Amino acid sequence: MLLYSLQGYGVKRLIVNVLALLSVAMGFTYPAYANDAVKILALGDSLTAGYGLAQSDSFPSQLETVLRDQGHDITVINGGVSGDTSAGGRSRLDWLVDSSVDLVLIELGANDGLRGLDPSETRTNLDWILNRLKEKKVPAVLTGMLAPPNLGADYGAEFKAIYPDLAVQYAIAFDPFFLQGVAADPALNQADGIHPNKDGVLIIVKRLVPLLLDVLKK
């Protein structure tokens, strides 16, 4: 029986279970042990999915690695789909967010801008996503995006304003620009000049880690 326990559950879990049983037998209360890691869902497009990268170099994978290297038992779910718009993220949200998700990081809108979609549509979709997460009582972190400059200053200003406006409206943590410190730097991007390489992704990850941990602590 002992051998089966060691093989099936692992030494760590076995020790915890034994301690819990002893505590009950001796009349002590023992704090609940979380067998499952905290789960962060990264909801996004190709910037999240890891377009052009090995899976281990994608944003969710590197984020999880850095968090675990810092001693945090956190799993990051890759909810990125290349080519996805804010409407696509909206359509997938309920399928992706179940009771096991503790936090959602939202990275959407880049493809809306590239396609020149009406910023009001992007705003409506992101508003729906944030409201739905509020209903589910799942905290969110919103990352901002900028529109391509060729669409004009008015379009760019209207698009950029979507993110801080919604962050204030829902009183959530906000990162102004997902590609901050990486965009337009050839050394940190792939040949297409749009998608970060693994070094660029790591810069984004290191910037976002403190923000994510702060939200989880609260």
Mean pLDDT, residues 85-108: 98
| Number of helices (H), then strands (E), in the chain | 9, 5
Residue 40 parent element (H or E): strand 38-44
Residue 4 scores a pLDDT above 50:
no
Q: Give strand pairing partners of 39.
A: 75
How confident is the model over 136-164, as pLDDT tens digits?
Answer: 999 999 999 999 999 999 999 999 999 99
- pLDDT-derived band at 33 (thresholds 50, 70, 90) equals very low
Among candidate residues 46, 58, 61, 86, the one labeled active-site is: 46
Residue 77 clears pLDDT 60, i.e. is over it: yes
- Reported as a pLDDT band with limits 50, 70 and 90, residue 36 is low
Which entry of 69, 86, 195, 214 is annotated as an active-site residue?
A: 195
Closest CA to 47 of 36, 30, 60: 60
* Beta-sheet strand order (sheet of 38-44): 74-80, 38-44, 103-107, 140-143, 173-175
Average pLDDT for 123-146: 98
Is residue 7 over pLDDT 60? no
Residue 192 falls in the annotated catalytic set? yes
pTM of the prediction? Answer: 0.83
Mean pLDDT of 101-126: 98
Q: What is the pLDDT of residue 68?
A: 98
Our answer to whether residue 72 is catalytic in this structure is no
Asked whether the beta carbons of 115 and 80 are under 8 A apart, the reply is no
- Cα separation, 24 vs 104, in Å, equals 36
For residue 170, name the pLDDT band (cuts at 50, 70, 90): very high
Range from 1-10, 75-84, 147-156, 201-210 carrying the lowest mean pLDDT: 1-10
The per-residue pLDDT of the chain, averaged, comes to 87
| 26-37 average pLDDT score | 41
